[in-house]
Structure 1
């Protein structure tokens, strides 16, 4: 009897484990692939109808309006289907957080206010249950980003496939994220908003910290290693970007001017709720912007109800390099909707192909990975997906196949597995 109970318990655990298991990472591309007669959304604002695309050994090798013939290639029928470059998700805790109510699954913030040496890369969890759900909507690349403090830490850009973070990383330690000192603060959890009385002291501390980091960076062999300042070296030699999280116009201008004065070559504004007010300044300073989540409430009581819907178009038309992100409440799980936020931007002033560009080539430019991904171009990674419908429209988007560097992903998740289990249980036709 004891053995019987042991077997029953073991079998139950085995079933639960198999139910929660993520699909195994895809193997390397083994033979060429040719997609025939499809609509190619190039990601750079252009679209090709009834076109052909081929990729081999993880790279796009040909794009043409004429048929492509490669011996031994797998042929994919693209009639009435759409091919897109993989969507790129900046500034996310995807892979760093799983269940908000379970502290042990949250690894996106460290104690302390100045942590440039904290690396999201080594905390990234390739076994996250959320990652497969995000891939189902075309998000194939993400910038895994720490949170909290004044200097949160260092982000890395990850491919959403791989056994370990070493296999998944596309660009390690791409930039440092800083929360600019706000002009106003809320007292308590839901109290009144008041001026930040300690702001001058906080800004002075930031200035001193960066001055020390710059002085340290000028030493090729410092007598004493400082891990925080070592992490910031790249800001001064141009190998890393400074991502400044700020919303008010004055705060953004201050942050950009500070960064330029400190000798930082590459600055990106993140959030930027009032960016449209300083679009001329941003264009002149060549500062890129990763906008607040499009599907969000207006920032202030007197803001237009469609404030975040239309801001992308205003900045795009002003000549500012702008991309979309999905930071905020439930950001990791909700980031599967990134493509649909671009669809909303298309409904409020942008052409659909321009809106697509915000989450493909523009985001790639901003993150410094545009030579590898972000558009369908010969020589770039074959990181792309095929949809039956418009990938920016939740009513028609249905992804059939997806590839990262030519590796074909298994488009399944915990939700799809449960769906198939219960449709079979109750005899429902799919």
Structure 2
């Protein structure tokens, strides 16, 4: 038995050696300058033949080819012919919480029960996930690790996609509470009819009333200066009423968007964000009047109803942004598909938005919505040097090829499991790597 256990241990060790992710990057040790590339600042501006200089993880200079810096003490990286972008930010992401879709034991995104605002997703964030390097390879360098399930899922945090552990990776801890607002109607797949069917939610009023009772209790609790004993669930809600946390409301239909936001306003929630918003165009006037941002569902989806225009999902980000609503984008569905976030923004660019405005949907706009725009989201002096360099257009799946990535100025190893597998079988079949 001992021999068998020893052999098994050696086998597992060997498997681990071959399957290891790249080690987290070391802190920046000297100034770095990216020169000669086309700089997409992230705020709508473009600098051709530009220069970005950063030191100790902070951008110290940005401008054209005449930008001054100490060339003797700076590592100069020539990125001529390439494009330089702010690191892409993925809100409402499951990266780091789910590892293998078919293995239930690797799911750590949901807690049992319906009201769990005290559940902190960041402590479940797995920095060793094989998924993280694959999303970095497309320029996604920051994500909002977000809980799912129940009525109030828990509290999200914003993570950099590099670090030894969640403490290293945390950019902003406990940024918001996530609410799944009850639906008036639900679209469900019917195996008998082999199609999606719409059904009324008979428990809508009951669910709504239960939610309002919880918010009323949370508001009353927040007004107690020194509660004794403390209630962990209600303690976690306090930030909604003093503005230190945002309320992210997952809801899609026009009427529900308005009702959900009005309920939050009734209970004095300071900062509200709508997530999903597939029918947000029906609530544009309300959203604009109340200065409520929307993180829109991916453009790569089918219409909800048979009478909805087939191109409507592609046009929605432009409709909201052009109406003056602060609009961001996220990628739902499978956790690993977060790497496709740049391409849903590219689709938005093809349906009503300028390319730089589309880029803002996944950089500066997302940063503003998440409250991290003083640190990231655009390439400006004083912000973190979280940067992606692509050989082509980062929004185009045909030309997006990230050659360099930096998180806080740290050089990120862009190798990943998929690239290792490609090299393995390319060698086997004599395929030259492009």
Match of 1:54 in 2: 53
Q: Which residue of 2 aligns with 1:115?
A: 116
Give the superposition deviation at 1:8.
Answer: 8.0
1:351 aligns with 2:354: yes
User: Where do 1:17-416 residues align within 5 Å?
Assistant: 17-65=16-64, 66-70=66-70, 71-185=72-186, 192-328=197-333, 330=334, 332-416=335-419
Distance 1:194 1:11, change over 3 A: closer
CA distance in structure 2 between the partners assigned to 1:124 and 1:412 by the alignment? 20
Q: Using a 3 Å threshold, how does the CA distance of structure 1 residues 180 and 80 change in structure 2: closer, same or farther?
A: same
In 2, are the aligned partners of 1:36 and 1:67 still within 8 Å (CA)?
no
Residue deviations 1:255-278 (CA, integer Å, cap 9, x gap): 111111110010000000111122
How far apart in 2 are the matches of 1:285 and 1:75? Answer: 47
CA distance in 2, matches of 1:188, 1:350: 33
SS in 2 for 1:155: strand
Q: Shift of the alpha carbon at 1:420?
A: 1.9
| 1:208–1:10 distance in 2 versus 1, CA, 3 Å | closer
Q: Which deviates more, 43-52 or 189-198? A: 189-198
Q: Describe the shift of the 1:351–1:186 C-alpha distance in structure 2 as closer, same or farther (beyond 3 A).
A: closer
**Equivalent residue pairs, number:** 426
TM-fit CA distance, 1:313: 0.4
Q: Structure 1 CA distance, aligned partners of 2:132 and 2:405?
A: 14
With over 3 angstroms needed to count, the CA separation of the structure-2 counterparts of 1:130 and 1:34, relative to structure 1, is: same
Counterpart-to-counterpart distance in 2, 1:8 and 1:218: 61
Residue by residue over 1:92-111, the C-alpha shift from the partner in whole angstroms, topping out at 9 and shown as x without a partner, is 11111011211110001111
Partner Cα separation in structure 2 for residue 233 and residue 310 of structure 1? 37
Verify the 8 A CA contact 1:176 1:240 in the aligned structure 2: yes
Q: Deviations over 1:345-390 (max 9, x none)?
A: 0000101100000000000000000000000000000000111110
Counterparts of 1:369 and 1:142 in 2: how far apart (Å)? 11
Structure 2: give runs of 5+ residues left out of the alignment.
Answer: none
**Residues 32-68 of structure 1: CA distance to partner in whole angstroms, max 9, x if unpaired?**
0011111000111111111111000000000111143
Contact 1:53 1:68 in 2 (8 A): no
1:298-332 deviations in whole A, cap 9, x for unaligned? 1112111111111000011100000000012x1x1
Where does residue 15 of structure 2 map in the other structure? 16
Q: Deviations over 1:168-214 (max 9, x none)?
A: 00000000000111001357865743222221121111111111101
Is the Cα contact below 8 Å between 1:54 and 1:68 reproduced in 2?
no
Runs of 4+ more than 6 Å apart: 5-11
What CA distance in whole angstroms lies between the structure 2 residues aligned with 1:327 and 1:421? 31
Higher mean alpha-carbon deviation, 125-134 vs 218-227, is at 218-227
How has the CA–CA distance of structure 1 residues 150 and 428 changed in structure 2, closer, same or farther, with 3 Å as cutoff?
A: same
Question: Which moves more between the two structures, 338-347 or 413-422?
Answer: 413-422
In structure 2, C-alpha distance between the alignment counterparts of 1:358 and 1:10, rounded to whole Å: 47
What is the SS of the residue equivalent to 1:60?
A: strand
State the Cα distance separating 1:426 from its structure 2 match: 3.5
Query: Closer, same or farther in 2 for the Cα pair 1:15/1:272, shift >3 Å?
Result: same
3-state DSSP of counterpart to 1:373: coil
CA distance in 1: counterparts of 2:426 and 2:44, whole angstroms = 40
- TM-score normalized by structure 1? 0.96
CA contact (8 A) 2:61 2:67 kept: no
Quick check: 2:98–2:106 contact (8 Å CA) kept in 1? Answer: yes
